[in-house]
């Protein structure tokens, strides 16, 4: 069965995603702040970004948060928006941006929020395109 055109295009757009995520605690304590992409490339998160995220997290979040944080398109929004899903991920992004969460496990980001997050932790987040 042939993959629909839209799914094929989204698959191509998402080919740069992480092949495995690592916990914030592991990155912080080991000093190895890298993760691999599906392409095999390795991305290093600068120490300053890891330290910034570490500083806003409580002990539980430090263990449970896995990097990179995925920011995806939010097709449920009335206008163009992005979202971060997951209880821990949304909480951490909420603290980083000093922005209220949309619901317990999701924070909605509009362009200014997305731009601010990208300026704060550009290497610790990845954009995911969803239909």
Task: Assess contact for 82 and 125: CB atoms under 8 A.
Answer: no
pLDDT value at residue 109? 95
Q: What is the mean pLDDT of residues 79-107?
A: 93
Per residue in 24-35, pLDDT (tens digit) is 999 999 999 999
**Mean pLDDT, to the nearest integer, of 58-65?**
97
Q: Is residue 79 part of a domain?
A: yes
The span from the first CA to the last CA of the chain, in angstroms, equals 20
Q: What is the mean pLDDT of the chain?
A: 89
Determine, yes or no, domain membership for 7.
Answer: no
Please indicate, yes or no, if residue 2 is contained in any of the structural domains.
no
Q: Which domain holds residue 18?
A: 14-128
Q: Per the domain annotation, does 42 fall within a domain?
A: yes
What is the per-residue pLDDT for 40? 87
Q: Is residue 106 part of a domain?
A: yes
Number of structural domains in the chain: 1
Q: What is the pTM of this model?
A: 0.85
Per-residue DSSP letter, 125: E
Residue 9 is assigned to a structural domain of this protein: no
Largest CA distance in the chain: 48
For residue 120, is it within any domain?
Answer: yes
pLDDT exceeds 80 at position 51: yes
pLDDT reading at 13 higher than 70: no
Does residue 73 contact residue 130 with C-beta atoms inside 8 Å?
yes
The pLDDT-based confidence of 39 (bands split at 50, 70, 90) is confident
1 lies in a domain? no
Return the pLDDT at 42. Answer: 93
């Amino acid at each position: 069965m042939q993959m629909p055109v839209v799914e094929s295009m989204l698959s191509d757009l998402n080919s740069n995603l992480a092949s495995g995520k690592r916990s914030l605690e592991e990155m912080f304590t080991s000093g190895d702040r890298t993760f691999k992409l599906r392409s095999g490339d390795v991305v290093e998160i600068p120490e300053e970004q890891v330290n910034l995220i570490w500083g806003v997290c409580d002990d539980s979040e430090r263990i449970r948060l896995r990097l990179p944080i995925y920011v995806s398109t939010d097709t449920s929004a009335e206008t163009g928006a992005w979202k971060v899903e997951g209880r821990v991920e949304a909480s951490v992004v909420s603290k980083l941006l000093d922005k209220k969460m949309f619901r317990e496990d999701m924070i909605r980001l509009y362009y200014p929020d997305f731009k601010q997050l990208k300026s704060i932790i550009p290497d610790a987040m990845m954009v995911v395109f969803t239909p």
